[in-house]
């Protein structure tokens, strides 16, 4: 069955890159521009992985991870947060909120692929 990955980022170009790269790997992608939109689009829908930016309007990435983990449906899915080098503390915050791992921006399609392969069976 095709696996679905939700990608949340307020930057359209970052979403484009994630979408483009992961679709090539055969994943189905749901996009959202911020945490609030992500929660709305999720609404009990099954996803296999979540990739989210940290710094976003409306609802930031860390809060999104926390909220998503509360739902039993998403309790065990891999979640990757996107941080920048200047926000190392966000890695720990994200981990504490329930993220599986992180990826530092900027990243290349190859790096994205490696990380997805690392956490998604």
Q: For 106, which DSSP code?
A: S
- Give the shortest CB-81-to-other proteins separation in angstroms: 11
User: Does residue 55 bind other proteins (CB under 8 A)?
Assistant: yes
Question: Which residue, 14 or 39, is less far from other proteins as judged by CB?
Answer: 14
CB atoms within 10 A of CB 72: 7
- Give the shortest CB-44-to-other proteins separation in angstroms: 18
User: Does residue 111 bind other proteins (CB under 8 A)?
Assistant: yes
What tokens were used for 49? 């992985």
DSSP letter for each residue of 49-97? EEEEESS-SSS-HHHHHHHHHHSGGGSSS-EEEEEEGGGHHHHHHHHHH
Phi-psi region of 17 (alpha: psi -120 to 50; beta: other; left: phi over 0): alpha
User: Does residue 26 bind other proteins (CB under 8 A)?
Assistant: no
- Give the shortest CB-21-to-other proteins separation in angstroms: 8
| Residues binding other proteins (CB under 8 A) | 10-14, 16-17, 20-21, 53, 55-57, 69, 75-79, 82, 84-86, 95, 98-102, 104-111, 114-115, 118-121
């Amino acid at each position: 069955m095709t696996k679905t990955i939700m990608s949340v980022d307020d930057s359209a170009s970052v979403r484009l890159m994630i979408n483009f790269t992961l679709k090539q790997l055969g994943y189905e992608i749901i996009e959202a521009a911020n945490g609030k939109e992500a929660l709305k689009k999720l609404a009990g829908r099954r996803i296999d992985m979540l990739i989210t930016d940290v710094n976003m309007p409306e609802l930031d990435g860390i809060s999104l991870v926390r909220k998503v983990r509360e739902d039993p449906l998403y309790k065990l899915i891999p979640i990757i947060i996107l941080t920048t080098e200047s926000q190392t503390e966000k890695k720990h915050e994200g981990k504490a909120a329930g993220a599986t791992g992180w990826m530092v921006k900027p990243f290349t399609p190859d790096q994205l692929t490696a990380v997805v392969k690392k956490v998604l069976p």
